[in-house]
Structure 1
Amino acid sequence: MTNYMRDVNGALELLWNKLEAWGAQTVLMLPNILVALVLLILTFYVAGLIRSWIGKFINRFSHSAALNNLILTLLYIGMLLLGFFFVLSVLNLDRVVISLLAGVGIIGLALGFAFQDIAANFISGVIIAVQKPFRVGDNIETNDYFGTIERITLRTIDIRQVTGELVKLPNKMVFENPLTNFSIYGTRRIDLEVGISYAEDLERVQQVVIEALEDVKNRVKTKAVEVMYDSFGDSSINFKARFWVSYSRQVDYVGAKSDAIIRIKKAFDANDILIPFPIRTLDFGIKGGEKLTEQLQALNATVKDGQRIGGNGK
C-alpha cells in the first residue's frame, strides 16, 4: 500500500511540474497569443474586404459567373493560408508550418492522381470560360449531340436537345472534340436539293425558283438567292437552291426550309414545271438474256396449241 501511494504521489508531482511549466510558458507566450489572435481576425477581415473589392472589379472584364467565383475563392483561400502561416510564425511554430506545407504537397499529389479526370474537366472548364467559344442559349453540335446550351459550369455543359432530353457533357469531351456553333453569327444558309425533268428549260426554272424564294420566311434580304445546277440524275436534272436565314433557334431553320419547299412546289405547279418520279426499267429475261416478248410469244403459242388439241379431242 505504501509503494502504491508513493507511485501516485510521484505521478501527481510530475503532472504538477508539467502544468507549472506549461503555465509559465503560457504566460511568456501570452503577448504572442494576443498578437496572433488579432492577426487572425485581421486576416479574415482583410481577405473578405479584398474579395469583395476584386469581385466588383473582375465582373467588368469577365461575364462567366463560374470563373469569377473560382478566382475569388482561390484568392480568398490563398490570403487565409498566408495569414494562418503568419499566425503560426508569431507563435514560434515554424516547424509546424514546414510540416503543413509538406503535407499539403503530398495530399495534393495524391488527389491529383486519384481525381485526374475531375481535374481535367475542371481545367477544361476554366479554359472554356476564358476563351468563351459559346454561351448560354447558343445552338451547338458536339460529340453527336445537338441542342441549346442551358448551363455552363466548371465541370459540365448542359445541352437541351431539340427532342427535349437534357445532356450533361463533361468539359473535357467538349474541349477535346470538334464543336459546331450555329448561333455565333446569327445567320445560317439553307441548301435545298430539287430535281426537275430533262424536258424543262433550265434557265426558266432557275428564274422561277429565285422569284419563289424571294419572300421566304426569315430570309436575309441582303444576300441573294442562288440556284446552282448540281448533277444529271437517273430521271432528273438536280439543282440546289441556296439562301440565308436569320437564326437564333432551330425552328427558324426548319421553318424556313419548310416554307421554301411549299413555295417551290406552288411555283412549279403554276408554271407547269415537272418534278419527275424515279424511273426503273425491269428486265425479266431469265434464259441467257432472252427477251421477255419472245418468252410471251412462246407461251401464247403453247397455250393455243393446248386449246386446239383439247378442242379436237371433243
Structure 2
Amino acid sequence: MDIEKAWNLLAAKVMGWIRDFILLLPNLGVAVAVLVGFWLLAKLARNLLHRLLRRVSHSEQVNRLLGQTVFLALVATGLFISLGILGLQKTVASLLAGAGIIGLALGFAFQDIAANFMAGIYLSIEHPFRAGHLIASKDIQGVVKRVHLRWTEIRTPQGQIILVPNKQIFENPVTNFSATGQRRVDIKAGVSYGDDLEKVRRVALQALEAMPSRKPDTEVELYFEELSDSAINLVARFWIDFTSRQADYLRAKSEAIERLKKAFDQNGITMPFPTRTLDFAVKGGETLSQALEEVGIGRGGNGGRRPESSH
C-alpha cells in the first residue's frame, strides 16, 4: 500500500514536470532563438568593429580586446533576456548582483592594472607617438619599440629596454622629438667685449650656413642674449632633419661647435673664459707684489716678523 502510494506521488510529480515543460516549450523556443540571434549579432559586431579599429589602431592586441569585449557583452545581454523569457527573473537578478559584486572586487584589486589597460587602449587609438619615435616622459628618454596593453617598450640611448607603465605615460607630459620630422639645434657661446658684434654675427652665420646637415629651406638665427661678467653671450639656432636617431642631433651640434670655434679663431674673434680681479689693497689698482711689499712679505722680506735681537 505504501509502495503504491509512493509510486503514485512520484508519477504525479513527473507528470507535473512534463506538463510544465510542455507549457514552457514555446517560451523555450523563443529564448533559444533570442540567444542564437544575439550570438550571431555579437559575431557580426565583433568583425565589424575589428575592421573599423584597424583604421585608427595598429595594435592587434587592442583590436582583439575591444572586439571580444563587445562580443561577450552582447552574448551576456542575450542570455539575460532569454532567462527573463523563461520566467527566471530571480536567477537574472542573482546573476547581475553577483556579477556586480565580483566586478567591484576585481576593480579594487586590479585598479592599477585596469588603469594601465585603459591608458594602453587610449595610446593605441590616439597615437600621440608611434613605434620608432624618440620621446621623453619625466626622466625617461628613448625610442619607442612597441606599445603594449599594459606598458610601452622604450629603448634608451644606452641600449637598455625600459617597460614604462602606460598609466605613467598617460598622466605625465610627453615630449615627442620625432613628430615634426625636424629638430632645432641651439649653440651657446660668448665673445669678448672688444670684438665687433656685426663681425661676430657675419662670421658665425657664414660658418653655420655652410653645414651640410642643416635644412636648406630654413635660416640660421643668431641672437645676443646677455652681457655677462666676462663675455657677451650669444645663441645660434638652426634646424636639421630628424626622425629618431639621437646621434644625428649630437653629430650636428658637435659639428656646429667645431665650425664656430674654427671660424672665430681664423677671424680673430675671442671666446673668453671667466676671469676675476683680486684686490688686496685698501685702494684699488695696486699689484699683488706692491701689496705684499707694503706688509713686509715682498722680495727679500722676512715675512713681516720683527728681527731678533742678540744679547
**Aligned mates of 1:131, 1:279 — CA distance in 2:** 53
Determine if the alignment matches structure 1 residue 79 to structure 2 residue 88: no
Residue-by-residue CA offset, 1:95-147 (whole Å, 9 max, x unaligned): 21121111111222222223222333333333434433222222221121111
Partner of 2:276: 280
Equivalences for residues 228-247 of structure 1 within 5 A: 228-247=223-242
* Deviations 1:209-264, CA, capped at 9 Å, x for gaps: 11111132431222211111112233222211111111112222111111111211
Deviation at 1:284, TM superposition (A): 5.8
- Tell me which residue corresponds to 2:194: 199
Q: Secondary structure at the match of 2:205?
A: helix
Q: Partner of 1:257: helix, strand, or coil?
A: helix
Structure 2 CA distance for aligned equivalents of residues 22 and 191 of structure 1: 90
TM-score under structure 1 length normalisation: 0.79
The yes-or-no answer on 1:24 pairing with 2:18 is yes
Whichever structure has more helix as a proportion of its residues is 1
Q: How much does 1:49 deviate?
A: 3.6
Residue in structure 2 matching 1:264, options 260, 268, 275:
260
> TM-score by structure 2 length?
0.79
Paired AA for residue 290 in structure 2: T
Give the structure 2 partner of residue 52 of structure 1: 47
Aligned to 1:293: 290
CA distance in 2, matches of 1:15, 1:267: 113
Change (3 A) 1:294 1:283: closer
Report if aligned partners of 2:191, 2:232 keep a CA contact under 8 Å in 1.
yes
Report 1:1-314 matches (<5 A): 20=14, 24=18, 28=22, 43-89=38-84, 91-249=86-244, 250-282=246-278, 292-296=289-293, 298-299=296-297, 300-303=299-302
In 1, the alpha carbon distance for the partners of 2:150 and 2:281 equals 66
Name stretches of at least 5 consecutive residues in structure 1 with no aligned partner.
Answer: 1-5, 310-314
What letter is aligned with 1:232?
A: L
Tell me if structure 2 keeps the 8 A contact 1:136–1:150: yes
Aligned equivalents of 1:114, 1:79: Cα separation in 2: 26
CA distance in 1, matches of 2:9, 2:39: 38
Instruction: For residues 21-52 of structure 1, give each alpha carbon's deviation from its aligned partner in whole angstroms, at most 9, with x where no partner exists.
Output: 69736863677667766665565454334322
Identity %: 40
Give me the whole-angstrom Cα distance separating, in 1, the residues matched to 2:130 and 2:241: 18
Query: Whole-Å Cα distance in 2 between the matches of residues 132 and 156 of structure 1?
Result: 14
Aligned with 1:213: secondary structure?
helix
How many residues get paired?
A: 302
Equivalent pair of 1:225/1:241 in contact (CA under 8 Å)? yes
